[in-house]
Amino acid sequence: MDEIIVSYKFGRTGGAFVRTLMCASAFALAMTMAGTAKAGDVTIDDLANDAGSTNNVLMNGLGWNAQRFSPLTEISTKTVDRLVPAWAMSFGGEKMRGQETQPLVEDGVMYVTGSYSRMFAIDTKTGARLWEYDARLPEGLLTCCDVINRGAALFGDKVYFMTLDAKVVALNKKTGKVVWSKQIDDPKAGHTATAAPLIVPSKAFGPLIVTGVSGSEFGIVGRVEARKVDDGELVWTRPTIEGNVGSLNGQPSTMTGKQNETWPGDLWKTGGGAPWLGGTYDPDTKLIFMGVGNPGPWNSYVRPGDNKWGCSRIAIDPETGEIKWGFQTTPHDGWDYDGTNEVVSFDLNGTKAAATADRNGFFYVLNRENGNFISAFPFVEQINWAKGIDKAGRPIYDPAHRPGDPAKSADGKKGDMIWAVPAFLGGKNWMPMAYSPDTKLFYIPSNEWGMDLWNEPITYKKGAAYLGAGFTIKPIFADHIGSLKALDPSTGKIVWQVNNKAPLWGGVLTTAGGLVFYGTPEGYLKALDAKTGQELWSFNTGSGIVGSPITWEQDGEQYVSVVSGWGGAVPLWGGEVAKSFQGIPQGAMTWTFKLLKKVASN
């Protein structure tokens, strides 16, 4: 039996329930007997309109542009103080690791993933579980940054998500039954998958499900894949590291870049570059935007050159899988400044622009039609690995803050230690920012920290860590690490910032009600005034929040939801920083809020 499906049948009171466990082979019959109600199918038009939708949240990022902006206004700066819990649902048997997911909502059903490759369907009126799917994960998986999952995708009558053992799975959204499951690559070599998939249109193949892969820390070669939504048939693949050849319709297609142009010897064969965060899509240019992770190994002295396309943003044609443009934020990366952070489409003074807040501490604005550099601004303080960004968008390196060659050290085993800002966990890591077309500001969950860093000798071995570096993360300021910042993309000005003692590790939501929602590791979901940063409301969920909030309207009322559950990379990799926050309780809960309508008179 590959998986366990748990269905829940509720009586009229909505209270007691009967829990039934059954294998997949018996599940279809049981669900046929249970009823025939069917939700509407999600279409490409529905996805295209998701950013302006109020009744549903069909995509990770609340639309292809990933602005995470809702046009809803019932919950506003004037009413948010009346926000109260509507319901909460515990993940129950979920092992308590980082819950980095963003829920989806369609026709009164919420679809949310749990960290151990689980999927839940929830009644949005009551918080009752409708079904859950539990992937059967193998032992000994090679994971970099905790056991997490960042969400799902909806299309047709299916809900899709990726499992930690590098599979993409399509479930019937009504029953939770597996429709198809495809293995992306070998988990024993270090391939894993944690991102929310992306659904995009294509003329040649119809709707496609686009996925990336994780595993740069184990020397895998990253790639982007597109499959048919109905059966998972592979359409094309695009490696992210130069020298590797893609595929189209089951045949070799073209090489990424030119072999050995920016990679020496055979290092491109184990070059990392995993697009582990997933992508966004721009219907104006008909391009998929993907971020590319760090090159392997971390030790940059063994791989001279720019090492394309590590630490980059690339634009891919969904019809062919060909790269149409690329922009490298950190050429010849020596600090683990992955370039995977999301690409957000927006209009800048009439220009079709795209913005990305990089781990290297700089906020970039690009022309999304051709990838041309427009501007870059620091969004965290005390950056020292680069003195700035030149007119072409290339960093001006400071050699004093690049790790040294261990072969030239006194013992030949450990290079000279340097101090680099930001730390390798980044000025901003995976946690998605938001953009408001009303205020024309980006809201960036950022962190202020640096690291002691040194290089060590390294050789590649399949299934083993491929780093060649050592590090210790340290805070820069005594009173805070996390900082939510409102940034003007036309000037780079930080309009306001709200500091937080612990690192910020969850996503941001902004609304036409003039609000910004975000969570903290201390467990608070907070609402701020989008113009001023003033805190207007907060609620403690009982565990650290590293998920991304959403909002939608149902039966004339606006709801806000977020998943709570501390974990992720900070407790694993944060060193001295992580030790400062060991008291944060773990958990796994979906919290949903709405406005209190009536207050009892005295």
Instruction: Quick: pLDDT tens for 236-272.
Output: 999 999 999 999 999 999 999 999 999 999 999 999 9
Written as one letter, the residue type at 539 is F
**pLDDT on residue 216:** 87
**pLDDT on residue 213:** 94
**pLDDT on residue 409:** 66
d(CA 152, CA 111): 8
DSSP-based three-state secondary structure for 480: coil
- Judged against a pLDDT cut of 80, whether residue 497 lies above it is answered with yes
Instruction: Quick: pLDDT tens for 314-336.
Output: 999 999 999 999 999 999 999 99
**pLDDT on residue 571:** 85
- Judged against a pLDDT cut of 50, whether residue 296 lies above it is answered with yes
d(CA 243, CA 266): 9
Give, as one character, the DSSP assignment of residue 57: B
Which whole-number Å values give the CA distances from 523 to 392, 415, 505, 533, 566, in the listed order? 42, 40, 11, 19, 8
Tokens of 171: 């479930």
> Which residues, 6 or more positions from 252, have their beta carbon under 8 angstroms from its beta carbon?
245, 246
Q: How far apart are the first and last CA of the chain?
A: 59
Give, as one character, the DSSP assignment of residue 29: H
Instruction: Quick: pLDDT tens for 345-373.
Output: 999 999 999 999 999 999 999 999 999 99
d(CA 576, CA 83): 36
**pLDDT on residue 598:** 67
Query: Annotated catalytic, 336?
Result: yes
**pLDDT on residue 412:** 64
Please confirm whether the linkage preceding 297 is cis (ω < 30° from 0).
yes
- Beta-bridge mates of residue 472: 452
- Catalytic pick from 146, 282, 306, 336? 336
Written as one letter, the residue type at 564 is S
Q: Which of 92-96, 190-194, 298-302, 494-498 has the lowest mean pLDDT?
A: 92-96
Q: Give the dihedral of Cα atoms 116, 120, 125, 128; nearest 10 deg.
A: -90
> Which residues, 6 or more positions from 577, have their beta carbon under 8 angstroms from its beta carbon?
449, 473, 474, 475, 481, 503, 570
**pLDDT on residue 602:** 52
Pick from 127, 167, 169, 163: nearest CA to 148: 163
- Judged against a pLDDT cut of 70, whether residue 521 lies above it is answered with yes
pLDDT band for 341, please (50, 70, 90 cuts).
very high
Answer with the residue of higher pLDDT: 450 or 17.
Answer: 450
Question: Angle at CA 146, nearest 5°, toward 141 and 148?
Answer: 95
Instruction: Quick: pLDDT tens for 217-239.
Output: 889 999 999 999 999 999 999 99
d(CA 525, CA 516): 10
* DSSP-based helix, strand, coil % in the chain, nearest 5: 10, 40, 50
- Judged against a pLDDT cut of 60, whether residue 131 lies above it is answered with yes
Written as one letter, the residue type at 582 is Q
Give, as one character, the DSSP assignment of residue 334: S
Work out the mean pLDDT of the chain and round it to a whole number. 91
d(CA 147, CA 500): 25
Instruction: Quick: pLDDT tens for 572-593.
Output: 887 778 777 777 888 899 999 9
pLDDT band for 143, please (50, 70, 90 cuts).
confident
- Judged against a pLDDT cut of 60, whether residue 17 lies above it is answered with no
Instruction: Quick: pLDDT tens for 530-581.
Output: 999 999 999 999 999 999 999 999 999 999 999 999 998 888 887 778 777 7
- Judged against a pLDDT cut of 70, whether residue 33 lies above it is answered with no
- What mean pLDDT is predicted for residues 455-477? 90
**pLDDT on residue 601:** 57
Q: Specify the pairing of strand 508-511 against strand 69-70.
A: parallel
Tokens of 238: 């695009």
**pLDDT on residue 26:** 32
DSSP-based three-state secondary structure for 268: helix
Which whole-number Å values give the CA distances from 96 to 100, 274, 536, 566, in the listed order? 12, 26, 30, 8
- What mean pLDDT is predicted for residues 62-86? 98
**pLDDT on residue 548:** 98
d(CA 177, CA 5): 7
